[in-house]
Structure 1
Amino acid sequence: LASITACGAFGGLPSLKSSFVLSEDTIPGTNETVKTLLPYGSVINYYGYVKPGQAPDGLVDGNKKAYYLYVWIPAVIAEMGVRMISPTG
């Protein structure tokens, strides 16, 4: 299953954050800086699967099957996040 996120949160899943920093604060008494990231403005989900018997696009570490997901986006975007979810863990 693949969840494609284009530049928000979707119920049940952890919210996705972009790399755009909204603010930076230092925790009092420490030197730790906490960044608040801007959430994605819109979320698009695509759920698909690999057909049984489909040949892998390649191998990772010599023995793990790898399948590529190609995406065409008909617009200019600053950032795109992709979350892959495996039903087998």
Structure 2
Amino acid sequence: MADRGGDRISCGIRRDDALDAVNPELESASRYPNVFPIDLTDAVCEPTVCAVVEGNLLIYHDEHHFTTSYSRSLAGPLGRQLQPLLGWW
């Protein structure tokens, strides 16, 4: 769509279409008391859409993989979720 004048939102996908209504990790993780699922959905998707670009970073390499540069940009949100679990910093 970008070649036809689309933008980061119109080329993205609706959040409801991209994600399961219930996080599939939660049921299997609930069986293991030392497993703590990390959910970066809010770091990747906006409230109603998962855009294809954030700032000047292309988010997706293909429909299942983030680009390397976008993956690196998730270090902050990942660290904020890991810190209370690990207590390392």
**TM-score, length-normalised on structure 2?**
0.25
Q: Which has the higher contact order (CA 8 A, sep 6+)?
A: 1
Q: Which has the larger radius of gyration?
A: 1
**Comparing both structures, which one devotes a greater share of its residues to strand?**
1
